[in-house]
Amino acid sequence: MIPFWKRLKKSGARIEAVATDMGPAAVQANLPDATLVFGHFHIVKLFNEKMTKLRRDLQREAENGLGKPVLKGIRWLLLKNPDNLDNTRNEHQRLDEALKHNEPLAAAYY
């Protein structure tokens, strides 16, 4: 069986864009002129991981004497679509309070 990239080159296909996950090395090596398009899922997943890490780091810092307990329990508020925040649970207020008191978190969120 002929490997994928060799078959593709033999076909004479003109590839203009390639949708890929966050590891495009093989595509870049074999189709250097193609435009890379990253999947929405992978971008959101990466952003959520970075936001969670930042929140954890800030929470650890707060626990070491800065007195910002407002960060506890807001992970899902940060990751939730703002249109889906529940007013009956004061989610808007809790998120706003957390962002107001934590400039690095607010910058990443917005």
Q: What is the pLDDT of residue 70?
A: 56
Buried b (16+ CB within 10 A) or exposed e, 11-31: eeeeeeeeebeeebeebeeeb
51-109 per-position pLDDT tens digit: 989 888 888 877 776 555 557 778 888 888 999 999 899 999 989 988 888 888 899 88
Q: What is the pLDDT of residue 42?
A: 87
Write down the pTM of the prediction.
Answer: 0.57
44-53 per-position pLDDT tens digit: 899 999 998 9
Q: What is the pLDDT of residue 17?
A: 93
